[in-house]
Structure 1
């Protein structure tokens, strides 16, 4: 049985909602570490970046012990 691996775009949205990524750059780093490629191509465009940033802001939870900077 083969497991379904989300597309780069699907995984980017999952990462944004999980609360670990604070920025789109964090999402791109996470995707890279998970072995995704062509990340720049998949996550291209101002509307998409703005959407992911908004989701990150709404869901981000700082690691325990980390100071928040506003």
Structure 2
């Protein structure tokens, strides 16, 4: 079962069509922000991969929350 996590889409720091490019950009952001875990995720109807700070997770009942499937965590 894939891990689902909720985010406000407006909180994404990048949106990328290619998974490998999303990982590369996430690693670049990660190097700049050592203390923050990043999540690469994809929404159920999205064609793009979104990169979020893990600390921006929202509860499922938050008004702007949308479910995303976690593809990779960058600790």
TM over 0.5: no
Please give the TM-score of this superposition, normalised by the length of structure 2.
0.31
Larger gyration radius, structure 1 or structure 2:
1
Instruction: Looking at secondary structure, tell me which structure has more helix per residue.
Output: 1
Please give the TM-score of this superposition, normalised by the length of structure 1.
0.32
